[in-house]
């Protein structure tokens, strides 16, 4: 009986050489590419983004790959008053003291922001519920604010906010209209007293950008507000970030309230 001829071992073992050669070629190309990236003029980030785009991937910042429990708290810029801002802030504190004596504590707050000095007035000391007409009882408060801002070259921004309780009336189809009209009413009051309209900007944000969650009546009352921001301008800065050098502001008050009229 004829003996079956077996295959040569060399013929069987040579099949692995083709994929192995391809792998080595690709590996060589990878190292050449990495070397070119490190030696090239473009940053590795540019090449990485291009590679990710070609592969249909997205590069995440390192912080986004970490669990939220171990992420550091964001560092907020520290705001401080300039010499002029200290004087204006003191006048605003006098208004706060006046309201406290009338039992309206925490209805009027002063906040330092990078844009300037922000005054936060709850709607209860300006408007009746569902109305954009300023309550005459509290017009002296706005007049006191006017006597401060009218002596400054700084522009102001008046923003209106509501809570998330829906409103639908012929005058106010939604909270957008109510918040905008309230901001406009405050701006119009200042203008009626002589404030330059060219230095006024208004906006209404409705139920958006609440200070606190609208979960309780107390929280909702905080969110129904009008904010008046006295904006910084060059040469008349009221606030400055602490990491920057304070502007050399040699402004000195010259008793602007000497001839103030009472209302």
What CA–CA distances, in Å, run from 215 to 206, 218, 263? 17, 8, 39
Which has the closest alpha carbon to 116: 148, 144, 164? 148
Strands 200-204 and 156-161: parallel
Helices (H), the chain: 9-13, 17-39, 44-54, 83-101, 139-149, 175-192, 217-223
pLDDT digits (tens, 9 = 90+) for 33-78: 777 766 655 555 666 666 666 556 665 565 555 555 555 555 666 8
Query: Which run of H or E residues covers position 198?
Result: none
Superfamily of domain 79-241: OmpA-like domain (3.30.1330.60)
Using DSSP, state whether 23 is helix, strand or coil. Answer: helix
C-beta neighbour count of 215 within 10 angstroms:
9
What's the pLDDT at 116?
94
Give the model's pLDDT for residue 48: 64
| DSSP label at residue 62 | G
Six token digits for residue 13: 């073992």
Q: Which residues pair with 113 in a beta bridge?
A: 116
- Please check whether residue 120 is in contact with residue 108, taking contact to mean a CB–CB distance below 8 angstroms: yes
Whether the Cβ atoms of residue 204 and residue 176 lie closer than 8 Å to each other: yes
User: What percent of the chain clears pLDDT 70, i.e. is strictly above it?
Assistant: 70
* 1: pLDDT strictly greater than 60: no
Q: Hey, what long-range contacts does 167-176 have (CB within 8 A, 24 or more apart)? A: 167/130, 169/130, 171/132, 172/130, 172/132, 174/206, 175/206, 175/207, 176/204, 176/206
pTM for the model? 0.64
Q: Which residues 6+ apart lie within 8 Å of 44 measured at CB? A: 37, 38
Q: How far is it, in rounded angstroms, from Cα 61 to Cα 57?
A: 13
CB 190 within 8 A of CB 156: yes
| pLDDT value of position 105 | 80
Judge whether 231 and 157 are in contact, CB under 8 Å.
yes
218 falls in which pLDDT band (50, 70, 90)?
very high
Q: Report the chain's mean pLDDT, rounded to a whole number.
A: 80
Mean pLDDT of 69-93: 79
Confidence of residue 196 (pLDDT cuts 50, 70, 90): very high
Above 70 in pLDDT, residue 133? yes
Q: Where do the structural domains in the chain lie, given as residue ranges?
A: 17-70, 79-241
């Amino acid at each position: 009986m004829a003996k079956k001829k077996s295959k040569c071992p060399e013929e069987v073992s040579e099949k692995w050489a083709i994929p192995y050669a391809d792998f080595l070629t690709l590996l060589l190309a990878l190292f050449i590419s990495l070397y070119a990236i490190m030696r090239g003029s473009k940053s590795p980030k540019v090449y990485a983004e291009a590679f990710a785009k070609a592969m249909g991937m997205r590069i995440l910042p390192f912080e986004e790959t970490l669990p939220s429990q171990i992420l550091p708290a964001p560092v907020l810029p520290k705001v401080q008053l300039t010499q002029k801002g200290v004087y204006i802030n003191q006048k605003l504190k006098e208004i706060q003291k006046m309201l406290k004596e009338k039992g309206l504590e925490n209805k009027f707050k002063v906040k330092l922001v990078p844009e300037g000095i922000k005054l936060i007035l709850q709607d209860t000391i300006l408007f009746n519920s569902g109305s954009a007409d300023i309550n005459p009882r509290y017009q002296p408060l706005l007049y006191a604010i006017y006597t401060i801002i009218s002596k400054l070259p700084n522009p102001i921004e008046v923003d209106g906010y509501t809570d998330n309780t829906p409103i639908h009336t012929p005058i106010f189809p939604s909270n957008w209209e109510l918040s905008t009209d309230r901001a406009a009413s405050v701006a119009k009051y200042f203008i009626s007293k002589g404030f330059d309209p060219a230095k006024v900007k208004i906006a209404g944000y409705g139920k958006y950008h609440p200070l606190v969650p609208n979960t309780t009546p107390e929280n909702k009352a905080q969110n129904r507000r009008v904010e008046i921001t006295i904006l910084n301008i060059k040469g008349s800065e009221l606030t400055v970030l602490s990491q920057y050098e304070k502007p050399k502001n040699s402004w000195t008050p010259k008793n602007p309230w000497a001839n103030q009229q009472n209302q």
